[in-house]
Structure 1
């Protein structure tokens, strides 16, 4: 769901499906080590962990997601 929101806002997210990655289990363990709970989906913007899909939708509703994407140079407008 969050990926569709990013596309609608003009961003091209890098998506890593852990169940399709050779090192998916290690990636999931590393996410847990960073405090991502649940570990997936873990959404980062500009290298900063922002939360889960629910958190991203909340950021969009309160109007701050677009600015975060601009600050990360993920969108230009």
Structure 2
């Protein structure tokens, strides 16, 4: 658990993903198009994959779906949550609050 939380707090946006997951790629691309560069942590490339998956299960109280997004060190959720936040306009607010937006996009969105 400590390792997951440490990784999640290292950058404003952290995505736990699988390297071959198309939805992980789509969510990463969404964040890039909004104006932030997420840290993508590919679970399947880590030798401690099972430990990481178990920590994510504990955080969610269910089997984790990937991608799993943290913003500002806080667990936000999987694809459905990210898309809901994006469509409602609240995702940009979360990114602004965490300092994740690049300066150009920060001035455009304010």
Note the C-alpha offset of 1:37.
3.5
Gaps of 5+ in 2: 1-25
Runs of 4+ in 1 over 6 A off after TM superposition: none
Alignment of 1:27-38 (within 5 A): 27-35=52-60, 37-38=62-63
Question: C-alpha deviations, 1:35-70, integer Å up to 9, x for none?
Answer: 264413211111111110111011000000001001
Residue aligning to 1:9:
34
- Per residue, is there more helix in 1 or in 2? 2
TM norm structure 2: 0.65
Q: 1 or 2, which has the higher strand percentage?
A: 2
Give TM-score scaled by structure 1 length. Answer: 0.90
- Preserved contact between residue 43 and residue 50 of structure 1 (Cα < 8 Å): yes
Structure exhibiting the larger radius of gyration computed from Cα positions: 2
From the superposition, tell whether residues 24 and 6 of structure 1 become closer, same or farther in structure 2 (CA, over 3 Å). Answer: same
